[in-house]
């Protein structure tokens, strides 16, 4: 291994006491491959197992905390009869020596009646997303908001009982937790909205519910993370100043890490084009080492990964790079980074152990992965 990459392979211990063997984790990416009832498929087990070796941790694709908060092919952590299924997923990852972290979410207004079996999607307010075909969601009444808070706590309990090493609350990528924090999707004037402080209430109470479950049920150190999208382009939308204020609150919630979800770990503000400082760097400068950060986005080479750590960010996540090259970490560790696969072809599905539904999704998203040839 090159000396410049050694920092990537140092162990890291979280505040909870849990330790990962190195600083490289797999970012959560949907496989769209679970059964209709949200149970894990054998294709998913093979997919995660193939990529987990050599990583510090794997953060799974998102699992819904209620069945009315899913999208097509998502995992379920919505009931106790899903624990056995989730346990198989945890085992498939942990058998490689990597830690297994279950990401949990509720789809909110990003859902649709088709995937929700005719049920109207819900959100903080009855405001549709700014995307083609978006449905108007039903505004959640106070009582149901509180039920959802508890659902996140119950899903955390199930992750613990399934044998996972941690959970990540999906407060990013425009799903429900983010929708409560966003002034675009949250137009409420009650306890759950109306001011920046009140828009923090739902995510903070979800964090508290998950933390309570960990304190009650976890018998060993359990990793507790939160994923956040620092900005939105919508008007009104989440600003970096909003996020920095929220991060001040998160510092005292007992989180082990905050996962900063950006298209590139090195991108600057989407809203303030005059500031070219990477958002990840700005956030680290703001919160220091009070909560460890995970940087993600367009980290393709070991030089990119090392550059994230050079910002003072202790953990780096790889996403699409691990689809293309499942042995990325092992190759860097063994000094074979020159053999890292950079492109894939349409004949590589079986070798790369990619589920059929995920493979179809990849082909319907031109440019998402670097295909070396066009399809015949």
**Is residue 355 a part of any domain in this protein?**
no
Domain count, the chain: 1
> The domain spanning residue 321 has which CATH number?
3.20.20.70
**Is residue 346 a part of any domain in this protein?**
no
Assessment of whether the complete model's pTM goes beyond 0.85: yes
* Sign of the torsion formed by the C-alpha atoms of 303, 308, 309 and 311: positive
Please report, in tens digits, the pLDDT of each residue of the chain (376 residues total).
Answer: 899 999 999 999 999 999 999 999 999 999 999 999 999 999 999 999 999 999 999 999 999 999 999 999 999 999 999 999 999 999 999 999 999 999 999 999 999 999 999 999 999 999 999 998 899 999 999 999 999 999 999 999 999 999 999 999 999 999 999 999 999 999 999 999 999 999 999 999 999 999 999 999 999 999 999 999 999 999 999 999 999 999 999 999 999 999 999 999 999 999 998 989 999 999 999 988 899 999 999 999 999 999 999 999 999 999 999 999 999 999 999 999 999 999 999 899 999 999 999 999 998 888 899 998 655 4
**Is residue 357 a part of any domain in this protein?**
no
**Is residue 71 a part of any domain in this protein?**
yes
5 in active site: no
- Which residues make beta-bridge pairs with 167? 102, 224
**Residue 113 belongs to what domain range?**
3-339
* Sign of the torsion formed by the C-alpha atoms of 346, 347, 351 and 357: positive
**Is residue 80 a part of any domain in this protein?**
yes
**Is residue 371 a part of any domain in this protein?**
no
The secondary structure element, H or E, covering residue 168 is: strand 166-171
- Which residues make beta-bridge pairs with 228? 171, 260
**Is residue 178 a part of any domain in this protein?**
yes
Q: Which two tokens stand for residue 353?
A: 């152990």
Catalytic residue among 5, 47, 175, 217: 175
Q: Which residue has the tokens 């106790």?
A: 80
CA distance 31 to 323: 11
Give me the phi and psi of 35, to 5 degrees please.
-65, 165
């Amino acid at each position: 291994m090159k000396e410049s990459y050694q920092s990537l392979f140092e162990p890291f211990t979280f505040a909870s006491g849990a330790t990962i063997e190195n600083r490289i984790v797999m970012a959560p990416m949907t496989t769209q491959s679970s059964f209709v009832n949200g149970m894990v498929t054998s294709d998913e087990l093979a997919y995660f197992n193939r990529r987990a070796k050599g990583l510090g941790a794997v953060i799974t694709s998102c699992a819904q905390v209620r069945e009315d908060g899913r999208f097509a092919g998502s995992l379920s952590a919505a009931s106790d009869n899903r624990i056995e299924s989730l346990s198989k997923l945890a085992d498939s990852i942990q058998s490689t020596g990597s830690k297994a972290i279950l990401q949990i979410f509720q789809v909110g207004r990003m859902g649709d009646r088709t995937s929700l079996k005719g049920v109207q999607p819900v959100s903080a307010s009855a405001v549709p997303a700014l995307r083609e075909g978006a449905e108007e969601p039903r505004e959640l009444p106070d009582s149901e908001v509180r039920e959802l808070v508890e659902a996140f706590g119950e899903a955390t309990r199930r992750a613990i009982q399934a044998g996972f090493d941690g959970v990540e609350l999906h407060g990013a990528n425009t799903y429900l937790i983010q929708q409560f924090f966003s002034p675009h999707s949250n137009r409420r004037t009650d306890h759950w909205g109306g001011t920046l402080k009140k828009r923090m209430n739902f995510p903070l109470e979800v964090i508290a519910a998950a933390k309570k479950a960990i304190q009650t049920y976890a018998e060993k150190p359990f990793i507790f993370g939160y994923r956040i999208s620092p900005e939105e382009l919508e008007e009104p939308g989440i600003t970096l100043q909003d996020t920095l204020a929220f991060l001040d609150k998160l510092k005292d919630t007992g989180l082990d890490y905050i996962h900063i979800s950006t298209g590139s770990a090195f991108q600057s503000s989407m809203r303030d084009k005059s500031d070219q400082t990477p958002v990840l760097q700005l956030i680290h400068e703001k919160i220091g080492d009070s909560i460890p950060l995970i940087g993600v986005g367009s980290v393709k080479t070991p030089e990119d990964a090392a550059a994230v750590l050079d910002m003072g960010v202790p953990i780096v996540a790889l996403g699409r790079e691990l689809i293309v090259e499942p042995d990325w970490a092992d190759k860097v560790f063994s000094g074979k980074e020159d053999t890292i696969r950079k492109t894939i072809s349409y004949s590589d599905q079986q070798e790369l152990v990619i589920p059929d539904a995920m493979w179809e999704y990849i082909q319907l998203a031109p440019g998402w992965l670097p295909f070396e040839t066009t399809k015949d």
